[in-house]
Amino acid sequence: MKRWILLCLFVFLAGTAFAQDYVGDTTCGTCHANFPETGFFDNYMNSGHPWKLTYIGGETPASDLYPWTPLPPLPDTGGVPLQWDDVEYIIGNYFWKARFVGVEGYIVTGGEDDSTQFNLATQGWVPYHPGEVRQYDCGRCHTTGYDADATNDLPGIAGDWAQPGVRCEACHGPGSEHAADPSNVSTPGGIDCIGCHYRDSEYRMPWSGGFMRHHQQGEDKNHEQLRDAQVAKDVHLLPAAASLRTSVPNTPFTNLPELSLPKDLASSTACARN
C-alpha cells in the first residue's frame, strides 16, 4: 500500500514539476526576435497564424493593426451599421475574409437579408448564415491554449483560451518553464499541423463544386502521390500562411464527390466550413 502511495505521490509531483503555463508570444519574442535567425519573430508576426482571431474588446482598433491588410469595414445588420463598440473579436482578415464576433460572443450574422462576411479579394460582402444565431465554437483551431471545458464570460463563446489566434504556444506548447530556463528546458509541444488542417477523418481529398476545399493540407500530406505543390519550408514565414492549392492530375474538375464532414468533427470545424 505504501508503495502505491509513494508512486502516486511521485507521479503527482513529477506532473506538477514539469507542467508549464502559457506565457504569451510577447514573452517568446524577447529571445526569439532574432533567433534562430534575424527577424525571426517579425516574420512570424507577418504570417497568417497569429491573426486567425484578433481581440478588439469593443475598442476602435489601430488602422495599422494587421501587417498586410487594412482594417475591414463593418457590416450593416438590419439596416444599421455595426460599430466597433459592438465587436469583441475579428475572425481572419488576413488576405482572405473577415467575420466578426459580437460583444456577447456570437458570430455576427445579421438578419435574413444581411451580408456580414467581408471577402478581401473582391472587396465585397457575402451572407454568412443570415438570420441564424451562431456560437463561436472554433477555438480549438483558432486560438492558443484552448480549453473546451472552460467557462467563458461571454455566453456565445464555447470554451476559453490563453491567447486568441494561433500563436507560438499553440504549436510549441506552454512555455513558462522554457522561458525561465531556455537552455535546459524545452517546450512540451502543442497541436501539430495536421491536427487542424484537415476536413475528413479518413484524410480523403474533399471537393465541392469542382474545387478542392480549403484547410485540407492534412489530406494533401496523406496523399502525396496525388499532389503537385511545393510545401512551404517553414510555417513561421509568410508563404506558409496561404493555403496550398493543389490539383489531381488527369482528373476533371467535374463529377468529383463532395464529402460530408463526420459528425464528430462538425462542432470543432463549423466556422471553417463556410
- Burial readout 137-170 (b: 16 or more C-beta within 10 A, e: otherwise): bbbbbbbbbbeeeeeeebebbbbbbbbbbbbbbb
Give 148's Cβ-side CA count (13 Å radius). Answer: 6
Question: pTM of this prediction?
Answer: 0.76
Tracing cell 486560438 back to the chain, one arrives at 143
Task: Name the grid cell of 208.
Answer: 465541392
Is the bond preceding 206 in cis, omega lying within 30 degrees of 0? no
Q: What is the pLDDT of residues 90-126, one digit of tens each?
A: 999 998 899 999 999 999 999 999 999 999 989 999 9
Q: Are 26 and 217 in contact (CB under 8 A)?
A: no
Domain extent listing, the chain: 25-169, 193-274
Greatest CA separation for the chain = 71
Q: What is the pLDDT of residues 47-79, one digit of tens each?
A: 889 999 999 999 999 999 999 899 999 999 999
Task: Name the grid cell of 201.
Answer: 477523418
Mean pLDDT value across the chain? 79
Determine the pLDDT at residue 193. Answer: 81
Q: Are 208 and 201 in contact (CB under 8 A)?
A: no
Give Cα 267 distance to the centre of its chain. 14
Highest mean pLDDT, choosing among 14-23, 38-47, 230-239: 38-47
Going by C-alpha positions, the residue among 194, 198, 174 that lies closest to residue 186 is 174
Query: How long, in residues, is the chain?
Result: 274
Average pLDDT on 173-192 reads 92
> Any residues with CB less than 8 A from the CB of 40 and at least 6 apart, and which?
32, 33, 34, 236
